[in-house]
Amino acid sequence: MEALRQSQYNRRYVWLPVLAAALVLMITMGIRMSLGLFVQPMVRDTALSISAVSFAIAVMQLMWGVSQPITGALADRFGAWPVLLWGTLLLAAGCGLMPWLPGTWG
pLDDT tens digits for 7-62? Answer: 666 666 778 888 888 888 888 777 777 877 888 888 888 778 888 888 888 888 89
Instruction: Give the predicted TM-score (pTM) of the model.
Output: 0.58
What local confidence, expressed as pLDDT, does residue 6 receive?
Answer: 59
Which has more pLDDT, 6 or 89?
A: 89
Q: Secondary structure of 50-93 in the HEC alphabet? A: HHHHHHHHHHHHHHHHHHHHHHHHHHHHHCHHHHHHHHHHHHHH
**Nearest in space to 64 (alpha carbons), one of 34, 39, 29, 30:** 29
Within 10 Å of residue 44's Cβ, how many Cβ atoms?
Answer: 9
Which of 24-33, 65-74, 97-106 shows the lowest mean pLDDT across its residues? 97-106
How confident is the model over 60-79, as a mean pLDDT?
91
Specify the pLDDT at position 72: 92
- Residue 2 reports pLDDT greater than 80: no
Residue 102 above 90 pLDDT? no
**Distances in whole angstroms, Cα of residue 65 to Cα of each of 16, 22, 60:** 24, 16, 9
